[in-house]
């Protein structure tokens, strides 16, 4: 296990930094913003560059710069405006000339479209850092040493660091990924219903959340337990039918905002998130910051939260990327819900005795 390094020790202080990420509501934006906030608090000037998203249009995928649903939430940040009509290189180059940043930190660089990186480095001398999301890293690009085009590669998990261990420019890096202004621990009720939360997918084309297993397992569990499950995100027709027929499961909608999610975490005793795969799992860090117990998968990087209720993986299937798909059985999810429920009830009893 590689020692975690502080990003400040890998950068020159008080320089201007560009951060390339999605500039709309997304896990990648919130992760990148946590780094931006950290750098700003330590004397850096941070400017955000929009990362394009490739969206299928007929038989082709077209590059798009998506806008936030709530622009007012992004007004405090310096975000540059890009258009699809220009290449990435032509979009970034004038801003480098204007602001003279020393570093450009690129989150989840799409290596198939990485030609802009050596062009910018050769023209400007800017240092470019990649922060890979390991579930989207292609094994072919890793093996042919494509990531040597970066001055540094920052790995946010042990499993990512292990894959990049043969790169001399690779670093195991960490900072506080959580926005503690909204994700913090509030004292939970010691009485009544035990509350669980599950965040279903917002992108059905890339669903790894195991929502079917969770809702089916909780439906069985809830028949004999004083517990409720709050679910957000997009649900299948089958899952919606189960929710409609079980008064202990609540679907709060698809795209609820971050402050509402933080409130749900603060009210919940346990988060159920046994994903088939994750790159980092930002939501797990946010849930822990709010004092929630975690039910997740016994596979990296999810099991790096070693104080969790870990669901045993029944089968591992190789994918095109480096992170395989981990199959989990419904009974295993049910077992961990039962165990967490018993522990929460026992902790409440012990706390009640201690206060007498």
CATH of the domain at 168: 3.40.50.720
Q: Do 139 and 208 belong together in one domain?
A: no
Regions of the chain short of the pLDDT cut 50: none
Q: Do 153 and 218 belong together in one domain?
A: no
Per-residue pLDDT at 205: 67
What angle do the packed helices 211-221 and 330-354 form, to 10 degrees? Answer: 50
> Does the residue 140 lie in any domain?
yes
Cβ distance 149 to 117 under 8 Å?
yes
Cβ distance 165 to 142 under 8 Å?
no
Cβ distance 106 to 85 under 8 Å?
no
Sheet strands (E) in the chain: 16-21, 45-50, 53-57, 60-64, 103-107, 127-131, 152-155, 170-172, 194-199, 227-232, 249-251, 270-273, 293-297, 309-311, 315-317, 325-327
CA-based nearest residue to 23, from 76, 90, 94: 76
Q: Do 312 and 208 belong together in one domain?
A: yes
> Does the residue 125 lie in any domain?
yes
Per-residue pLDDT at 59: 76
Cβ distance 201 to 221 under 8 Å?
no
Per-residue pLDDT at 1: 60
Cβ distance 131 to 177 under 8 Å?
no
Whole-angstrom distance, CA of residue 208 vs CA of residue 199: 11
> Does the residue 143 lie in any domain?
yes
> Does the residue 308 lie in any domain?
yes
Q: Within the chain, what is the greatest distance between any pair of CA atoms?
A: 71
Q: Do 25 and 163 belong together in one domain?
A: yes
Whole-angstrom distance, CA of residue 280 vs CA of residue 32: 12
Token reading at 173: 């890096």
Per-residue pLDDT at 307: 77
Total structural domains within the chain: 2
> Does the residue 184 lie in any domain?
no
CA-based nearest residue to 179, from 21, 41, 9: 41
Whole-angstrom distance, CA of residue 32 vs CA of residue 26: 10
CA-based nearest residue to 184, from 322, 289, 68, 304: 289
CA-based nearest residue to 38, from 136, 177, 231: 177
Token reading at 166: 């043969």
- Total count of residues recorded for the chain: 356
Whole-angstrom distance, CA of residue 17 vs CA of residue 36: 9
**280: containing domain:** 194-354
Whole-angstrom distance, CA of residue 51 vs CA of residue 108: 9
CA distance to 20, 165, 200, 204, 281, per residue, from 295 (Å): 32, 29, 14, 22, 13
Q: Do 212 and 332 belong together in one domain?
A: yes
Per-residue pLDDT at 57: 75
Whole-angstrom distance, CA of residue 257 vs CA of residue 41: 25
> Does the residue 141 lie in any domain?
yes
Q: Structure pTM? A: 0.90
Q: Which residues is 17 bridged to in the sheet?
A: 46, 103
> Does the residue 177 lie in any domain?
no
> Does the residue 253 lie in any domain?
yes
Whole-angstrom distance, CA of residue 242 vs CA of residue 34: 37
Per-residue pLDDT at 136: 86
CB-side neighbour CA atoms (13 Å) of 327: 7
Q: Do 40 and 154 belong together in one domain?
A: yes
Q: Do 140 and 198 belong together in one domain?
A: no
Q: Do 21 and 168 belong together in one domain?
A: yes
Domain boundary pick from 115, 142, 172: 172
Domain boundary pick from 113, 138, 172: 172
Cβ distance 209 to 199 under 8 Å?
yes
């Amino acid at each position: 296990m590689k020692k975690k390094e502080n990003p400040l020790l890998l950068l020159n202080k008080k320089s201007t930094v560009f951060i390339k990420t999605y500039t709309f509501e997304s896990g990648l934006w919130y992760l990148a913003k946590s780094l931006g906030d950290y750098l700003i608090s330590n004397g850096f000037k941070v400017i955000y560059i929009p990362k394009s998203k490739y969206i299928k249009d007929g038989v082709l995928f077209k590059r798009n710069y998506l806008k936030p649903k709530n622009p007012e939430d992004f007004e405090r940040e310096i975000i540059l405006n890009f258009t699809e009509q220009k290449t990435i290189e032509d979009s970034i180059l004038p801003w480098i000339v204007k602001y003279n940043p020393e570093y450009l930190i690129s989150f989840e660089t799409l290596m198939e479209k990485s030609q802009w990186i050596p062009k910018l480095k050769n023209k400007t001398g800017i240092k470019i850092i990649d922060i890979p999301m390991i579930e989207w890293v292609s094994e072919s690009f890793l093996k042919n040493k494509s990531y040597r085009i970066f001055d540094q590669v920052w790995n946010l998990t042990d499993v990512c660091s292990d894959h990049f261990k043969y790169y001399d420019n690779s670093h195991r890096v960490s900072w506080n990924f959580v926005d503690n202004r909204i994700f913090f621990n509030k004292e939970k009720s010691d009485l009544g219903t035990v509350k669980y939360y599950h965040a279903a997918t917002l992108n059905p084309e890339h669903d790894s959340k195991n929502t079917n297993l969770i809702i089916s397992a909780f439906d069985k569990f809830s028949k004999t337990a004083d517990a409720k499950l709050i679910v957000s995100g997009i649900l299948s027709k089958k899952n919606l039918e189960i929710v409609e027929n079980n008064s202990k499961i609540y679907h709060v909608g698809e795209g609820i905002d971050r402050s509402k999610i933080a409130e749900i975490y603060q009210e919940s005793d346990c988060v159920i998130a046994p994903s088939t795969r994750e790159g980092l799992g930002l939501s797990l860090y946010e849930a822990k910051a709010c004092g929630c117990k975690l039910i997740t998968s016994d596979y990296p990087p999810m099991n790096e939260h070693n104080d969790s209720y870990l669901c045993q993986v029944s089968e591992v299937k190789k994918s095109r990327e480096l992170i395989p798909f981990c199959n989990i059985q419904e009974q295993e999810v049910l077992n961990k819900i039962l165990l967490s429920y018993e522990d929460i009830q026992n902790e409440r009893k012990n706390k009640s005795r201690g206060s007498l």
